[in-house]
């Protein structure tokens, strides 16, 4: 099973490294490898969350996530998205934006990297609010099993209030725009953050809507089970937007290593994103989330931390290592807690 799931990722990764070497020699090869390792190491929480959604989809849609989804991840988020940011914010057409990326100016004018970094408040606000809505939806949910019971139980009771997630998220957005964002970015952060919330509500709601039509019950995307047809399609869209939101910080952070869009696409996309997707499929096929019951909790807490970091980074730069370590700590703690839970269950049995 391991060879079947990860074999394609290994072959494509080798091909990506060869392409990087042909493109820019040893330097490009090393940069691509670094970006690939960085993406995989920092995205385990992404894989866990993807698995919680993907396990409720049919085999066909799981394959769509690995095929069509990887095209979106590589060429959409790692190549087209940065070019689109430059296109929109700098008024350059896509061809000129790509030319600017491949041929940095030497006359002191704005570079591809500087334009991308200048758009960070909008990107972080959109992604941060989307992920915050996901976290709040989970933490306020009525769950039988809790991990950090001392805080999850009270929050579960608070979750009985209708639309409490929206109220908390809007409060966080206002605080970010007024107290964290630079003065000249307040309106931009409010608009981008609102769009992030609307995107979550719409995509999540569409999955819920077609779940009602096809399955006769309504528990939202987090509760869809082995869906096909319209329900699975909108859940697939939800999964792609979710995956894109996770990648925002990685794409921005990659510019600390290189501004070359080809190397970023090869490292973050062909190597990193594909391995994360293979890891997601592996967890679904192995039933990892059922075996280690707190991994989903840990991943959602990592998402909550990531959303806060994204919003905070609008006003103050946050080192990439902090972002990655927080996720690793939550996932590791949830894994250990799962082992303890399994041991106690076997003793009680």
| Token code pair at residue 302 | 């990592």
* pLDDT at position 223: 42
| 162 vs 197: which has the higher pLDDT | 197
pLDDT of residue 215 exceeding 60, the answer is: no
Model pTM greater than 0.75?
yes
The larger pLDDT score, comparing residue 135 to residue 204, is at 135
pLDDT for 226 equals: 57
* Residue among 267, 203, 206, 266 at smallest CA distance from 240: 203
pLDDT digits (tens, 9 = 90+) for 236-285: 888 888 877 777 767 776 776 787 888 888 888 888 888 888 888 888 88
The average pLDDT across 91-95 equals 77
pLDDT, tens only, 51-87: 888 887 788 888 888 778 878 877 777 777 777 877 7
């Amino acid at each position: 099973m391991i060879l079947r799931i990860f074999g394609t990722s290994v072959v494509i990764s080798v091909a990506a490294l060869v392409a990087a070497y042909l493109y820019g020699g040893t330097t490009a090869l090393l940069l691509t490898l670094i970006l690939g390792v960085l993406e995989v190491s920092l995205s385990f929480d992404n894989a866990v969350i993807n698995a919680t959604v993907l396990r409720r989809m049919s085999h066909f849609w799981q394959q769509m996530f690995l095929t069509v989804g990887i095209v979106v991840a590589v060429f959409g988020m790692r190549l087209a998205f940065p070019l689109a940011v430059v296109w929109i914010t700098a008024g350059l057409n896509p061809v000129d934006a790509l030319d600017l990326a491949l041929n940095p100016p030497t006359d002191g004018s704005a570079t591809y990297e500087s334009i991308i970094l200048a758009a960070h408040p909008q990107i972080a606000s959109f992604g941060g609010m989307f992920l915050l809505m996901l976290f709040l939806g989970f933490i306020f949910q009525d769950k039988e099993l809790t991990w950090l019971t001392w805080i999850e139980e009270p929050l579960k009771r608070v979750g009985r209030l209708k639309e409490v997630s929206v109220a908390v998220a809007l409060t966080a957005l206002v605080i970010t725009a007024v107290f964290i964002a630079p003065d000249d970015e307040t309106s931009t952060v409010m608009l981008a953050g609102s769009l992030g919330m609307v995107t979550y509500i719409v995509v999540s709601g569409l999955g819920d809507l077609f779940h009602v039509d096809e399955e006769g019950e309504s528990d939202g995307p987090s509760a869809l089970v082995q869906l096909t047809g319209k329900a699975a399609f909108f859940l697939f869209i939800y999964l792609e937007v979710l995956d894109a939101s996770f990648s925002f910080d990685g794409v921005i952070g990659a510019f600390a290593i290189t501004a070359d869009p080809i190397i970023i696409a090869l490292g973050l996309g062909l190597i990193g994103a594909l391995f994360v997707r293979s890891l997601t499929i592996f967890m679904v096929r192995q039933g990892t989330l059922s075996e280690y019951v707190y991994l989903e909790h840990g991943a959602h807490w990592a998402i909550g931390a990531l959303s806060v970091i994204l919003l905070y980074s609008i006003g103050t730069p946050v080192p990439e290592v902090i972002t990655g370590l927080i996720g690793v700590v939550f996932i590791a703690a949830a894994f250990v807690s799962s082992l303890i839970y399994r041991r106690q269950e076997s003793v009680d049995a």
